[in-house]
Amino acid sequence: MSDLPTLPLRPEDFTGRIAFHAANTDVAQAAKARLVARYGEAPSEAATAVVSLGGDGCMLETQHRLLGRNLPVYGMNCGSVGFLMNDFREDALLERLAEAQAATLYPLRMRAVSADGSAAEALAINEVSLLRETRQAAKIRILIDGKERLAELICDGVLVATPAGSTAYNLSAHGPIVPLGANLLPLTPISAFRPRRWRGALLPGDAQVVFEILEAGKRPVAAVADYTEVRDVRRVEVREDRSISITLLFDPDHGLSERIIAEQFTV
- Annotated catalytic residues are 56
Ordered alpha helix ranges (H), 190-255: none
Dist CA 39 CA 156 (whole Å):
48
Is 164 annotated as contributing to ligand binding? Answer: yes
Max CA separation in the chain (angstroms) = 61
22 is in an annotated binding site: no
Q: Is 172 annotated as a binding residue?
A: yes
Distance of alpha carbon 20 from alpha carbon 14, whole angstroms: 12
Q: Among candidates 68, 144, 96, which has minimal Cα distance to 254?
A: 96
Query: How many residues comprise the chain?
Result: 267
Q: Which residues, 6 or more positions from 147, have their beta carbon under 8 angstroms from its beta carbon? A: none
Q: How far apart are CA 137 and CA 258, in angstroms?
A: 38
CA distance 91 to 10: 16
Q: What angle do CA 133, 136, 137 make, to 5 degrees?
A: 90
Instruction: For residue 156, say whether it is annotated as part of any ligand binding site.
Output: yes
- Tell me whether residue 167 is annotated as binding: yes
* 170 annotated as a binding-site residue: yes
Query: Which phi and psi (to 5°) does residue 262 adopt?
Result: -60, -35
Known binding-site residue numbers: 56-57, 126-127, 156, 164, 167-172
Known binding-site residue numbers for NAD(+): 56-57, 126-127, 156, 164, 167-172
